[in-house]
Amino acid sequence: MGLREDLDRFRKVGEEERQDLEEFIKHGQMDSGDIKIPIKVVDLPEFEYDQFSMGGVGQGEGEVGDPVDVNAEQEGEGEDDEAGEDGGEHGYYEMDPEEFAQELDDRLGLDLDPKGKKVKEITEGAMVEKVRSGPDATVDFEELYKKGLKRELALFFDEDYVREVMKVEGMGMSATFEWAREKNIPVSKGWIEQEYFDIPREERIKYDSIDEIEQQRRRAPTARELNSVQLRREDKRHKYPETSKEYEKNAVIVFIRDVSGSMGGSKRELVERVFTPLDWYLTGKYDNAEFHYIAHDAEAWEVERQKFFGIQSGGGTKISTAYLLAQEILEENYSWSEWNRYVFAAGDGENWMQDTEEEVIPLMEEIDCNLHGYVQVESNDGYGMGMGDHGKLVEDHFGEDSSVAVTYLDNKNDVMDSIETILSAEDE
């Protein structure tokens, strides 16, 4: 194998050895910017050559070296040696949101197909749709003529054939009329009576049965016999092209996080480890995804993305203030008929008195969304036990409602399960 093949092989190994996506979400260094997953950089083989060096391999007089004890234990070997603590050099595998969403779908076994609401393009196809009204230029004349022709054929009867039937012994006028009705021949009783009296008596017993009448007698009219085809207004149908609509997949996502005094340390990190992948995932899934970030303690305010994922904690807790702000943002700017809407909130479950039951739950019912999600972190990091009952109250109220998902986590190992719980609810 040559040097070039070695280089290609080592480069390929480096690209394939990026950190596993699940491990990255649980333990990796995430920020709210680009998706950069660490990969191990492999040192590529190379030759070193100093053109100013004198002599070469195996040339020159050389010097006497130090003696080597072949029985001595080599430094760095042995059972008691410990692995080094220094990490190797790392590069980053940059992943776009679409690739991230696809890989997360594959990892979680999901097949989420976002629905488009706003019409982006209307394409006209073949002229197949038919309606009762429209301009004359769109009339389907072929269909109109066929309907008139069928009507004329239904009204036509072979007069000669019916006259021959009258000549069967024992038929008479009444029997001939009954026979015509059974055969769906549109002939009147008056016509039969008039024609029957014109038949000479001796010919009224010409046949013993109808079967004796000529079998090849013509039964269908010619164009000359029809003379004309009557066209009726009620038979008109107007042709229009079949249309297909392409919808733009728009989504607005509102992230809400509790930044009260009890939300510190590892709780903040757990929230970010759930919200950041959701942010990336929905960006990759939708043609146009817009995000709003709301922080709250006893009051709520909107913040920029960078501040949202690094905001510090302090103050009391009243979750309804955040939902009121979210409702205002959605109703003023994002019509439910045109936008897919998501509201994801996170906290440690603690809330002010009866705020959950009296304010938050009614607001969640009022705000039309594809999905309401609540992430309850329960880590004890010295800022409070985080054993509030907000998540439980929401879960008990909405029960099996597929538009509401509540998930709980108290360490990094629960992060993927929480993401799966939320996204699985949307997939359903």
Q: Is the pLDDT of residue 141 over 80?
A: no
| Average pLDDT value for residue range 381-399 | 78
Instruction: Supply the pLDDT for residue 51.
Output: 58
Q: What angle do CA 100, 105, 107 make, to 5 degrees?
A: 95
Instruction: Supply the pLDDT for residue 77.
Output: 44
Residue with the two structure tokens 């991230």: 100
Amino acid at 205: I
- Beta strand spans in 210-270 (E): 238-248, 250-258
pLDDT digits (tens, 9 = 90+) for 53-106: 555 555 555 555 555 554 554 444 444 444 444 444 457 778 888 888 898 988
Instruction: Supply the pLDDT for residue 306.
Output: 86
Contact of 114 with 249, CB cutoff 8 Å: yes
* H or E stretch at 127: strand 118-131
Contact of 391 with 406, CB cutoff 8 Å: yes
Terminal-residue alpha carbon distance, the chain: 52
**CB-count burial class (<10 Å; 0-12, 13-18, 19+) for 29:** exposed
pLDDT digits (tens, 9 = 90+) for 230-287: 666 766 777 767 666 677 788 999 999 999 988 877 888 899 999 999 999 999 999 8
Residues 6 or more apart whose Cβ sits within 8 Å of residue 69: none
List beta partners, residue 303: 293
Q: Which of 19-23, 132-136, 168-172, 330-334 has the lowest mean pLDDT?
A: 132-136
Q: Is the pLDDT of residue 363 over 70?
A: yes
Instruction: Supply the pLDDT for residue 82.
Output: 47
pTM of the model: 0.59
Report CA 279 to chain centroid distance, whole Å. Answer: 17
Instruction: Supply the pLDDT for residue 80.
Output: 46
* Residue 391: count of CB within 10 angstroms of its CB: 23
Q: What angle do CA 406, 409, 415 make, to 5 degrees?
A: 95
List beta partners, residue 372: 343, 404
**CB-count burial class (<10 Å; 0-12, 13-18, 19+) for 59:** exposed
Confidence of residue 50 (pLDDT cuts 50, 70, 90): low
Q: Considering Cα of 3, then 5, then 8, then 14, what sign does the dihedral take?
A: negative
pLDDT digits (tens, 9 = 90+) for 218-227: 555 555 555 6
The token pair at 232 is: 């009726």
Domains of the chain: 1-47+88-95 (no CATH), 136-239 (no CATH), 249-427 (3.40.50.410)
Instruction: Supply the pLDDT for residue 309.
Output: 79
Mean pLDDT of the chain: 77
Residues 6 or more apart whose Cβ sits within 8 Å of residue 96: 35, 284
pLDDT digits (tens, 9 = 90+) for 172-201: 888 888 888 887 777 888 888 888 888 888
DSSP H helices, 17-61, are: 21-27
Separation between Cα atoms, residue 125 and residue 245, nearest integer Å? 11
